[in-house]
Structure 1
Amino acid sequence: MYTACGSAGRIVSFKLSPGDDLEQGLIEVCKKYDLKNGVILSAFGSLQSAVVKNVIAIPNVKYNAGYGAPIELTGPIELIGTTGVICHTDEGEILPHIHITLSDHSGRGYGGHLCPGTRVKITVEGAIAEVDGINMRKLMDTERNILVFRPEQM
């Protein structure tokens, strides 16, 4: 287990436009305000497409699980909710870990780990809170060959 304690700092509000990539848009918001440690407070709106991936069983790997292939959904899709953390590498690259909840026109629900290619239909609006006192790093887990979240006290 890794833990660290901090406090909420600045709140950055945003509105993304039609055609914007949701993940890249959030990264650009963070770059604009030099926000490298944060949490998504809220984000909602409409999407023309969504790309998510979900955890699946994978035998003979650590934890016997990992992410499956991306699932592509076509819209219009309602973005009901967004949750996640804003992290960074030691080199300063912003790497958010974000999950989204979706609903289609029939009311069916979907969700998962946000992937590139998720595009805004009309608007996505929301807010990100900067976290003070916690270094929200992503470090390489050599056993799984993936970057993992590692909060550290500043």
Structure 2
Amino acid sequence: MQTLALRLDPGDDLRAALVAALLASGHEAGYVLQGVGSLSVAQLRYAGQPQPDTLRGDLEILTLAGSLSADGAHLHMSVSDAQGRVLGGHVCAGCVVRTTAELLLALLPGRRFTRELDPRTGYPELKIS
């Protein structure tokens, strides 16, 4: 395992930047070990819901973890708003960094993660090779 520390800038799309960092590293499998920072927009899909909810405002990233592959990511995150309320769920495209996002990735040399539709779940699920 190798590690890669990242800092994202204001305006970056969190999910897209993580997949781009994996691709730029030359690896085909990785995990987000942890992430902290702030967002101005969070797109979170809650358990059992078909579409994400949009959260806007000053949001703090409390936790961020998940798997990364060249063809997608499976990330979960919890955020708090300016009143300290905490929400969490599946990270969708459109999470916009407000001031910073500081992330630690684990890169897995010799491994390849892909996403394939699993008819049992209806979602593209992780395949490890």
Question: In structure 2, what is the equivalent of residue 17 of structure 1?
Answer: 9
2:40: which partner in 1?
48
Alpha-carbon deviations, 1:32-64, whole Å to 9, x = none? Answer: 1022211111111010110010122xxxxxxxx
The match for 1:71 among 53, 56, 60 is 53
**Mapped contact 1:36–1:94 kept (Cα < 8 A):** no
Identity %: 27
RMSD over aligned CA atoms reads 1.6
Whether contact under 8 Å (1:99, 1:113) holds in the other structure is yes
Q: Which runs of 5 or more structure 2 residues have no equivalent in the other structure?
A: none
Deviates more, 1:129-138 or 1:21-30: 129-138
**Aligned partner of residue 72 in structure 2, secondary structure:** coil
Structure-2 residue corresponding to 1:4: none
Aligned partners of 1:117, 1:30: CA distance in 2, in Å? 18
Q: What is the aligned residue count?
A: 129
Aligned residue for 1:116?
Answer: 93
Determine if contact 2:71/2:114 at 8 Å carries over to the other structure: no
Kindly indicate whether the alpha-carbon contact (under 8 Å) linking 2:28 and 2:111 is maintained by their aligned counterparts in 1: no
Aligned to 2:23: 31
CA distance in 2, matches of 1:117, 1:40: 18
Q: Provide the TM-score with structure 1 as the length reference.
A: 0.77
Aligned to 2:62: 80
TM-score, normalising length: structure 2: 0.91
User: Per the alignment, do residues 134 and 28 of structure 1 end up closer, same or farther by CA in structure 2, a change over 3 Å counting?
Assistant: closer
